[in-house]
Homo-oligomer: A and B are copies of this chain.
Amino acid sequence: MSSEELELIYRRYLATLNEHRTHDLSEFVQDRLTYNGQEWSRQEYEGLLTEDVKTFPDLAYPIGLLVVQGPHVACRIDFDCTPVREWLGFQPNGKRISFSEHVFYEFHQGRIQHVWSLLDHQAISRQMTS
């Protein structure tokens, strides 16, 4: 698969997440995957993303930077959203917060096989404790 095709798949995956359709990602995600080195089922991965929408009802995935070189995708996602419940041990304070995720994916046959994600915890902590 070309990098151009992989980019189109990834953009469709994010469009699906932007519509909060987190319950059937089988088009985009393998049955089994690893998330930060841990073995997960797709259902567990969908569960994480579904919980994120419950935490942030206004959740969207705006691309800040996108780098594609098959089979890998790297994306900086610039979140700007409002938590309505406890998250990462912090209580919501009614304020919108802005933070980035730097996430790498490895695709296999057009579907996500591995995910490595880092969030900007310092930015999150700073905004949720102010």
Q: Which residues of A contact B (CB under 8 A)?
A: 3, 64-65, 67-69, 72-74, 76, 100, 102-104, 106, 116, 118-122
Residues of B within 8 A of A120 (CB): 118
Are B116 and A104 touching (Cβ within 8 A)? no
Residue of B nearest to A125 (CB): B121
Are B100 and A118 touching (Cβ within 8 A)? yes
Q: Which of B64, B104, B119, B122 contacts A67 (CB 8 A)?
A: B104
Task: Give how many copies assemble into the complex.
Answer: 2
Q: List 23 A-B contacts (CB under 8 A).
A: A64-B116, A65-B74, A65-B104, A65-B106, A65-B116, A67-B67, A67-B68, A67-B72, A67-B74, A67-B104, A74-B74, A74-B102, A74-B104, A100-B116, A100-B118, A102-B103, A102-B104, A102-B116, A102-B118, A118-B118, A118-B119, A118-B120, A121-B121
CA distance A65 to B103 in the complex (A): 11
CA distance A104 to B76 in the complex (A): 8
Residues of B within 8 A of A119 (CB): 118
